[in-house]
């Protein structure tokens, strides 16, 4: 018989937590019992799983007793509080917050890239990378394995769903007001996103970068095992509900052509080429939403750097950028 697991989802009522529950069901992960966990204010609500309403429980020390797997998407503070507790009781923790990503004793994993790293269990926790890092490395790993990458220049076009459900609702209210000419409603977004672009992640005053950008630098180096890899990021929030896009320029150790890159990407795990720009075919956030593949298009030679290439990479930030990546790690570690 196939193994069955008791699975807890911490932060189950949030946007990513709800997606984790959906992905567990869609991918038929062998869940014996689902235990949705959240803050006391969400306790007593229900989530739909396999046709049943499952009651959300308040997180506590005892909530992790008898749990085999914890999928955590509750933010950095709760993650630091509860992930070690779950691990101490024998559960394997897969954490979506940034709290553990750069801990040298915690693996940072994208299954298509470095699943073996996740088998390290010094603390019983495996970290999910940032959503933008995940989709970028799914696309770049097949190239990096054949021709090591020396430099990445990446600009992200990030959907508001990455900021959580409250931010989505505020953006939708902004969009309605923008369309009607009404004054902008107040809410969690610090600036107007409707009809505009923003760069409102935590700023690092000493470097001039945002936290979101620095995550891509440090996480990419850790996942690829390349501490000196040069990564030049710019992160931008765009008026899109779901689906992150990235414009990427690559320089490898040896010259690489667009044709060679396409051949490496074709059939690579987790990658789907959507690349016939002459015919108007290229991936968009709408194409990526609801899917688990990373879509790659506009693969072309870099006119400004002969021997380099440019790519356009799109992914569902709630699924492959968070929930699906975590479930895939669990599948790789726990299923035969």
- 218 assigned to active site: no
Environment class of 328 (CB within 10 Å of its CB; exposed 0-12, middle 13-18, buried 19+):
buried
CA gap 290, 219 in Å, rounded: 25
- 252 assigned to active site: no
* Active-site position among 131, 144, 170, 252: 131
* Active-site position among 72, 109, 244, 252: 244
52-71 CB burial, b ≥16 within 10 A, e <16: eebebbebeeebbeebbbbb
Active site residues: 131, 244
């Amino acid at each position: 018989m196939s193994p069955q697991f008791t699975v807890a989802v911490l932060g189950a009522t949030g946007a990513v937590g709800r997606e984790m529950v959906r992905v567990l069901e869609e991918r038929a992960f062998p869940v014996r019992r689902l235990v949705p966990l959240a803050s006391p204010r969400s306790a007593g609500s229900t989530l739909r799983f396999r046709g049943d309403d499952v009651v959300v429980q308040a997180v506590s020390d005892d909530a992790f007793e008898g749990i085999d797997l914890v999928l955590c998407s509750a933010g950095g503070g709760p993650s630091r509080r509860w992930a070690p507790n779950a691990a101490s009781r024998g559960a394997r923790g897969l954490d979506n917050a940034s709290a553990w990503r750069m801990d040298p004793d915690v693996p940072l994993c994208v299954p298509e890239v470095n699943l073996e790293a996740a088998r390290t269990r010094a603390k019983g926790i495996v970290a999910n990378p940032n959503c933008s890092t995940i989709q970028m490395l799914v696309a770049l790993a097949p190239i990096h394995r054949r021709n090591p990458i020396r430099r990445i220049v990446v600009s992200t076009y990030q959907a508001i769903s990455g900021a959580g459900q409250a931010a989505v609702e505020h953006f939708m209210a902004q969009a309605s007001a923008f369309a009607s000419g009404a004054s902008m409603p107040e809410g969690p977004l610090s600036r107007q996103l409707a009809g505009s672009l923003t760069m409102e992640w935590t700023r690092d005053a000493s470097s001039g970068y945002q936290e979101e950008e620095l995550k891509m630098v440090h996480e990419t180096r850790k996942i690829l095992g390349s501490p000196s890899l040069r990564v030049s990021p710019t992160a931008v929030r765009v008026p899109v509900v779901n689906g992150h896009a990235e414009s990427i320029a690559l320089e490898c150790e040896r010259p690489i052509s667009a044709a060679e890159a396409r051949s490496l990407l074709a059939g690579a795990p987790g990658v789907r080429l959507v690349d016939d720009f002459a015919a108007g075919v290229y991936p968009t956030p709408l194409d990526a939403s609801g899917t688990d593949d990373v879509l790659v298009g506009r693969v072309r030679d870099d006119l400004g750097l002969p021997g380099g290439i440019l790519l356009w990479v799109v992914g569902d930030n709630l699924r492959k950028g968070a929930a699906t990546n975590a479930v895939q790690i669990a599948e790789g570690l726990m299923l035969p």
